[in-house]
Amino acid sequence: MNKKIVGFLSLLLAFGPTVIAQRNVVDEVVWVVGDEAILLSDVEEQRLRAEYEGTPIPGNPYCYIPEQLALQKLYLDQARIDSINIDDKQVQQQVEQRINYLMGQLGSPEKVEAYFGKPMDAIRDNMSDMVRNQLTIQQEQHKIVGDIKPTPAEVRRFFNQLPADSIPMIPEEVEVQVISVSPKVRQSAIDAVKNRLYDFQKRVESGESSFSTLAVLYSEDMESAKRGGELGYMGKGQLVPEYAEVAFALKDPTKVSRIVKSDYGYHIIQLIDRKDDRVNTRHILLKPEIYLADRDSAKRAMDSLANTIRLGKMPFEAAVSLYSTDKNTKNSEGLLTNPATGDTKFNLKELSPYIASVISPMNIGEISRTFAMKNSNGDDVYTIVKLKNRVVQHKANMSDDYITLKNMYVSYKSEEKLHDWIAEKQKNIYVKIGDKWKDCDFQYPGWIKDDNKK
């Protein structure tokens, strides 16, 4: 798929700041595509937005941007013909993710409203339209491209035809196995956390303290604590199950939930608002203290386990099954999976900094020293790793890099299909380009038709 097209369409549809210094321009129609006009003000707004966000525009922006807007209209026009409908829940989910990101960056809903100069409902409406268009274009592109499933023979043929200077360099990659163990949490520490949360609950319901103030002061979810514990509107699937069950059962915004245990720790929750199948809540998260003696005990146990593996008394894979508390790797013999590719290979930059620094100097088959790190829940764990394999930096080849080359082939075929579709679509849709805009060096020359050259 053409990365320039997709990338800039994403920019055009992304929700960027609407408070952008506007220039005084006399508006005019610069293009007409089908029955829709592209205005000079549309072009200028996108140019200013790209400038504001530091996004480079290839070539003349007054040529490049109108063409990208025209491509957007082609896809949306075809999507209407194909009756592509986007699920409202999917739109709402992405909108809330973006709103929550903005609140995280700016600090509160009020600051988001002040930044954009609009009430939150207007921001959501604006963002919903943009997200819906973006998802519609993505679905239409997927429909045009289809499901490309190349055979190994096709990938090999593609690879053999690549010019030498087009064969990618593959950075050094490693395959890593891990065993992580969480230190013991004492019941006395759990009781202490629960007692603090019970106290917070009483203080809120008696009116002595506000929930949001307590969240700012004491919650160990640092991101939401900045917003008084507010998470933003979430669907059930966006919340951990234990939290979602209680949050969606809340009815009274003046009350505080029972204590909820999740993988992240212990929570109390307060309802802010509910909209259809989404709920906005505040929470306070506390984690039980882990005593130094228990940390030392977990480290000694890991040191002993590492020595047992090094002496050949137990395979690494068996130790994973028996001792690891890492849910993500316990059933894969400790082997990490790269979320970006679905493969088990990582370059060092893709690994957790904790693991990358340890694995970098190791030899294949070597077992690391025990080290402390944060797991995906932000908890302290003690870890050992084994370097299963290392592939040095090299030019891609079929033996070591089949998945990379397969993805290149799929991208190439997708781009080819989209290019052909655009060229065909240009023949069958009305396009009128203003005289001042005809001398551009367009990526798709089919915009200029015989009756448009005069």
Q: How far apart are CA 190 and CA 360, in angstroms?
A: 38
DSSP annotation string for 47-59: HHHHHHHT----S
Q: In what order do the strands lie in the sheet with 230-234?
A: 230-234, 278-286, 265-275, 260-262
pLDDT tens figures, 206-224: 999 999 999 999 999 988 9
Q: How far apart are CA 105 and CA 223, in angstroms?
A: 9
Residue 134: Cβ-neighbour burial (10 angstroms; 0-12, 13-18, 19+) = buried
Instruction: Name the token pair of 13.
Output: 């549809």
Say what the pLDDT of residue 454 is: 46
Say what the pLDDT of residue 238 is: 86
Say what the pLDDT of residue 23 is: 45
Nearest Cα neighbor of 196 from 262, 246, 268 is: 268
Three-state DSSP class for 372?
A: strand
Q: How far apart are CA 234 and CA 239, in angstroms?
A: 7
Q: Would you say 335 and 321 are in contact if contact means Cβ atoms under 8 Å apart?
A: no
Residue with tokens 């019941």, as numbered in its chain:
187
Three-state DSSP class for 262?
A: strand
Q: How far apart are CA 76 and CA 9, in angstroms?
A: 12
**Stretches in the chain below the pLDDT threshold 50:** 1, 3-6, 8-9, 11-24, 454
Say what the pLDDT of residue 400 is: 84
Contacts of residue 239, Cβ cutoff 8 Å, sequence gap at least 6: 231, 247
Say what the pLDDT of residue 298 is: 95
Q: Would you say 256 and 272 are in contact if contact means Cβ atoms under 8 Å apart?
A: no
Model pTM score? 0.66
Residue 358: Cβ-neighbour burial (10 angstroms; 0-12, 13-18, 19+) = buried
Q: How far apart are CA 138 and CA 155, in angstroms?
A: 25
Packed helices 292-310 and 316-323: angle between N→C axes, nearest 10 degrees: 150
Instruction: Name the token pair of 322.
Output: 């028996």
Mean pLDDT of the chain: 88
Name the β-bridge partners of 283: 269
Say what the pLDDT of residue 451 is: 53
Q: How far apart are CA 423 and CA 418, in angstroms?
A: 9
Say what the pLDDT of residue 28 is: 87
Q: How far apart are CA 185 and CA 280, in angstroms?
A: 31
Name the β-bridge partners of 390: 174
Helix, strand, coil percentages, rounded to 5, for the chain: 50, 15, 35
Residue with tokens 């070539």, as numbered in its chain:
59
Instruction: Name the token pair of 376.
Output: 């995906």
Q: Would you say 294 and 187 are in contact if contact means Cβ atoms under 8 Å apart?
A: no
CA 285 from centre of chain? 24
Dihedral (CA of 325, 330, 334, 338) sign: negative
Q: How far apart are CA 100 and CA 330, in angstroms?
A: 32
Say what the pLDDT of residue 21 is: 40
